Every structure is written in C-alpha cells, then in structure tokens.
Amino acid sequence: MVALSTREELKTLAERAGRDLEGASALEILGWADEQFGSSWAVASSMADAVVPSLAAKVRPGVDVLFLDTGYHFAETIGTRDAVAATLPVTIRTLTPKQSVEQQDASFGARLYERNPDQCCALRKVMPLRAALKDYSAWASGLRRDEVATRADVRVIEWDEQRSMVKINPIAAWTQDDVDRYIADNGILVNPLLSDGYGSIGCWPCTRRLKPGEDARAGRWSGTGKVECGIH
C-alpha cells in the first residue's frame, strides 16, 4: 500500500491511473485500488444488482459496501440489500439521513421530492454519503458509460473533486450485455424490479417503469429535467 498524504498526490495518482488502466479488467482495476489503499476503500451500491460488490469481494473479502437507506426505497431494494449481506463476503454499511422522512416533512413540508428533488437528494443521499466517505481514501461505484449521455466520459479511475478522493469505476467500459453475461455466468443477485419494467432503480416516488424505446435511466425523476442525484 502506498502512503499518500496530500490531496495533490492523490489527484495525480488518480489521473495517471485513469490513463494507465483504461482497457484493464474490472478485477485488475479493483486490484490496483486494493494495492494502493488497503482497507481504506469502499463500494457504494444502490442494490440494483450485486455486480460491483461481488467483484470487490473477490479482491478484498469483507469489503465495506455502502448503502443509502433514504427512507423511500422499494421493499425489493431493501430485500436485495439483505440478500447481498447474507450471501456475499462483504460488510454492508447502511447509511441514513440525519432526519427521518417524518422529520424532514416537518422541517420542509411533505413531498419535498416533488417540489425540490435536488434538495431532497442532497439531504437523503449526498450528505449521508459524504459523511461516510470521510472514513476512506477511495470509493467504487457501478457507473457505466453506456447508461446515459452524461456518463459517456467516465474514466475507470477518476479524481472526485467534490470529496477530494479517488473514485473507482471498474465497470465503466462494460455494456449492458457485459453486465447481463456476468450476472448469468456468476449467479449474481439482481433487484427483482429490473424484471418488472424498471431500468434504473431509485426512490419509489421518483422512479417509474420504462416506456418502449426509452433508455435505462428515463424512469428516474421523469418530467423534471433532473438526470443525476448529485452523488456522482
């Protein structure tokens, strides 16, 4: 493990690795992260599937997997989290906002997600994740370039300017076919909502089933112009 103490050293490391590891396998990318950071990296998972947690567990059994329990999840998503915890050699850390849904309603009014979805996401997702990631030097996600145009330039290793840490995107170059193949070949757990018309799964008030021909994330914050929660 390399000791890197300054922000600029970490940023330089991330930028160089983003170039050098382009074309590497997901396991090679995660292996690099483990070599650099030891136990000081974690995976963030929405529990749409267990692809990245399963890959990470092959590199570091017991790896921390961060799950944001917003208070608005589908029951199927909570069930997927529990199944992942029971069947994979990972450590699930469930993160919760400072306020419950009821407390947030009292502070900001009911259905904040309708009136100000950016604020709702900030309170229930962005801020809890930011607080949890202070315990680590790097974090991994399941971002892929083919998901939506705003993610087309994602690198396999990036500098997370928002949090001043290294971001690992081991399946950035995978296609949906690659994901489906890995799931089938390895018996990976998948959120059952993906077989019920949903392409991307978030909080139930802001997620709908897809219409024919829509891209996978079209069902998120439909009609609002919002395409990301602010985490990435």
Q: Which residues are catalytic?
A: 229
Q: Are the C-beta atoms of residues 160 and 130 closer than 8 Å to each other?
A: no
Nearest alpha carbon to residue 194 among 180, 174, 175: 180
User: In DSSP terms, which residues pair with 95 in a beta bridge?
Assistant: 68
Residues in the chain: 232
User: In DSSP terms, which residues pair with 24 in a beta bridge?
Assistant: none
Burial class (CB in 10 A: 0-12, 13-18, 19+), 221: buried
Sheet arrangement for strand 157-160: 90-95, 63-68, 41-44, 138-140, 165-168, 157-160
Distance (Å, whole) CA 75 – CA 79: 6
Q: Are the C-beta atoms of residues 17 and 157 closer than 8 Å to each other?
A: yes
